């Protein structure tokens, strides 16, 4: 048997990857790193940053697991101790709602949980509704399952959120499900309990699957954690998968631990997929995650971090209102993000948020994420999970850039 050979430059990826393209965020990250390596003064507000240092109990738990040497064989669904801790965590955040550990799957971050859910629930020919603006990952994950993402624009008068009527206008006979997040990345908007109930009732009546990313639930600037799908009646949860990532909330960015809560049959199927795809999450990371969800010292640290993030949120909002009056933005009620509108500065040369962000980085050394990443090229996302003095410097530079654009428009 002979094998055809081709030069590396002729390589064509399989059709499994046909719909995946390099992301804006990856391009921005490479440019930031290049400029920083060259000695340029760059402030990166484009990506997720740990809001604080990883709490000591988490590091100690991981260290003990490493020092203990080779660990036991790990079930693909995750350590039972961690799944039980996650079940209690979900229960406590939602008023004591009973949650069974058999419905929990431990994943390599929220992203992998979303992928496993999509790959388990959807297939070729299915359509999946994706409210936008949304995480850049959602449409790509749907496509990896050979399904078709249908973008549903949010209402600018409603903090760019969607309602059941918006979803229904985009639904057809092929629609199999819905993916959303709350609090929302990138806008910082938060769906209320009643809004979630209307959406879930709509989906339940049509037998649609709902996957919801609630990774930023603890970063909520209202009373207590943000409203959740888990606050709703059992009969509405029969086709719902709830995902959380532990990265930002617990300053564990890079540890890659997430949790999915799903109906038991779906949880088993997701675990089976993981068994073949990744095997399981590393033991030290899982031990650390179990500590995250059970140690009271960690809980106190989360409350402190949330309050620190609230102060930085207030810093951004005050700046936008006082120094950049007239620039429209979504009131950030959760997450470390602020989404503001820049299409008022567009002209024949500057036509998209991507161009705005390229010039802001090139001329003023501030990196932000353009709205193209999230499905709306009129807006820009600012991540404010950085030290207050760094944030203040970035805001001053951004204001100087926008004022320059405004003067150009006036000429």
* Residues 168 and 304 grouped into a single domain: no
Q: Is residue 1 part of a domain?
A: no
Q: Is residue 3 part of a domain?
A: no
Is 8 a residue whose pLDDT tops 70? no
SS3 content of the chain, % helix, strand, coil (to 5): 45, 15, 40
Q: Is residue 9 part of a domain?
A: no
CB of 191 closer than 8 Å to CB of 167: no
Residue with the bigger pLDDT between 384 and 19: it is 384
End-of-domain residue from the set 270, 294, 318? 294
DSSP calls for 23-78: -HHHHHHHHHHHHHHTT---EE-SS---SSPPPHHHHHHHHHHHHT-S-PPPPTT-
* Residues 120 and 241 grouped into a single domain: yes
Q: Is residue 61 part of a domain?
A: no
Q: Tell me the pLDDT tens digit for each residue of 133-176.
A: 998 889 999 999 999 999 999 999 999 999 999 999 999 999 99
CB of 87 closer than 8 Å to CB of 283: no
End-of-domain residue from the set 238, 270, 294? 294
CB of 289 closer than 8 Å to CB of 106: yes
Q: What is the pLDDT of residue 271?
A: 92
* Residues 364 and 327 grouped into a single domain: yes
CATH for 269: 3.40.640.10
CATH for 395: 3.90.1150.10
Q: What is the rounded distance in angstroms from the CA atom of residue 104 to the CA atom of residue 260?
A: 6
Average pLDDT, the chain: 88
How many C-beta atoms lie closer than 10 Å to residue 249's C-beta?
19
* Residues 133 and 221 grouped into a single domain: yes
Q: What is the CA radius of gyration of the chain?
A: 22
Strand partners, 241: 211
pTM of the predicted model over 0.75: yes
* Residues 282 and 152 grouped into a single domain: yes
End-of-domain residue from the set 232, 266, 294? 294
Q: Tell me the pLDDT tens digit for each residue of 326-376.
A: 899 999 999 999 999 999 988 888 899 999 999 999 999 999 999 998 999
Domain ranges, residue 328: 21-49+299-410
Structure tokens at 186: 């990138």
Is 40 a residue whose pLDDT tops 70? yes
* Residues 359 and 335 grouped into a single domain: yes
CB of 382 closer than 8 Å to CB of 338: yes
Q: What is the rounded distance in angstroms from the CA atom of residue 386 to the CA atom of residue 48?
A: 9
Q: Tell me the pLDDT tens digit for each residue of 64-107.
A: 777 766 556 678 888 898 999 999 988 988 888 889 999 999 99
Q: Is residue 62 part of a domain?
A: no
Counting the structural domains of the chain, the total is 2
Give the Å distances, CA to CA, from 34 to 41, 152, 385. 11, 36, 22
Q: Tell me the pLDDT tens digit for each residue of 202-240.
A: 999 999 999 999 999 989 998 888 999 999 999 999 999
Q: What is the pLDDT of residue 73?
A: 60
Compute φ and ψ for 139, nearest 5 degrees.
-60, -40
Is 256 a residue whose pLDDT tops 90? no
* Residues 290 and 303 grouped into a single domain: no
Q: What is the pLDDT of residue 105?
A: 94
Q: Is residue 195 part of a domain?
A: yes
Q: Is residue 375 part of a domain?
A: yes
* Residues 353 and 277 grouped into a single domain: no
* Residues 150 and 270 grouped into a single domain: yes
* Residues 165 and 275 grouped into a single domain: yes
Structure tokens at 149: 């993402």
* Residues 271 and 364 grouped into a single domain: no
CB of 141 closer than 8 Å to CB of 110: no
Of the candidates 123, 122, 121, 115, the one whose C-alpha atom is nearest the C-alpha of residue 141 is 115
Is 58 a residue whose pLDDT tops 90? no
Average pLDDT over residues 288-310: 83
Q: What is the pLDDT of residue 326?
A: 84
* Residues 324 and 282 grouped into a single domain: no
Chain centroid offset of residue 324 CA: 27
Q: Is residue 133 part of a domain?
A: yes
Q: Tell me the pLDDT tens digit for each residue of 14-38.
A: 888 877 766 667 777 888 888 888 8
């Amino acid at each position: 048997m002979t094998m055809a050979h081709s030069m590396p430059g002729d390589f064509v990826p399989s059709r499994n990857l046909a719909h995946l393209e390099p992301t804006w965020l990856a391009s921005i990250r490479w440019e930031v790193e290049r400029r920083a390596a060259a000695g340029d003064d760059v402030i990166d507000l484009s990506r997720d940053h740990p809001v604080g240092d990883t709490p000591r109990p988490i590091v100690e738990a991981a260290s003990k697991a490493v020092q203990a040497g080779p660990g036991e064989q790990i079930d693909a669904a995750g350590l039972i101790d961690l799944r039980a801790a996650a079940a209690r965590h979900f229960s406590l955040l939602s008023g004591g709602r009973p949650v069974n550990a058999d419905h929990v799957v431990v994943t390599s971050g929220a992203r992998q949980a979303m992928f496993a859910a999509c790959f388990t629930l959807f297939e070729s020919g299915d359509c999946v509704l994706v409210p936008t603006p949304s995480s850049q990952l959602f449409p790509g994950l749907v496509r990896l399952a050979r399904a078709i993402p249908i973008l549903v624009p949010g209402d600018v008068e409603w903090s760019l959120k969607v309602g059941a009527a918006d979803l229904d206008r985009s639904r057809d006979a092929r629609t199999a499900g819905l993916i959303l997040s709350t609090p929302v990345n990138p806008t910082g908007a938060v769906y209320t309990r009643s809004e979630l109930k209307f959406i879930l009732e709509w989906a339940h009546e049509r037998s649609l699957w709902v996957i919801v990313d609630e990774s930023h639930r603890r970063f909520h600037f209202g009373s207590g954690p943000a409203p959740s799908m888990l606050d709703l009646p059992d009969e509405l949860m029969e086709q719902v998968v709830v995902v959380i990532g532990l990265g930002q909330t617990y300053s564990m960015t890079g540890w890659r631990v997430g949790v999915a809560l799903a109906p038991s049959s779906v949880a088993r199927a997701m675990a089976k997929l993981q068994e073949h795809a990744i095997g399981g999450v590393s033991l030290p990371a899982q031990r650390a995650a179990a500590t995250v969800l059970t140690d009271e010292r960690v809980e106190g640290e989360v409350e402190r971090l949330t309050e620190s993030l609230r102060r930085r949120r207030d810093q951004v909002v005050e700046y936008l209102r006082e120094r950049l009056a007239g620039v429209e933005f979504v009131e950030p009620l959760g997450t470390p993000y602020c989404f503001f509108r820049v299409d008022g500065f567009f002209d024949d040369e500057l036509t998209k948020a991507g161009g705005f962000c390229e010039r802001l980085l090139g001329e003023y050394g501030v990196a932000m994420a353009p709205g193209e990443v999230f499905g709306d090229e009129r807006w820009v996302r600012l991540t404010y999970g950085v030290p207050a003095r760094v944030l203040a410097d970035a805001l001053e530079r951004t204001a100087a850039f926008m004022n320059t654009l405004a003067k150009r428009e006036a000429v």
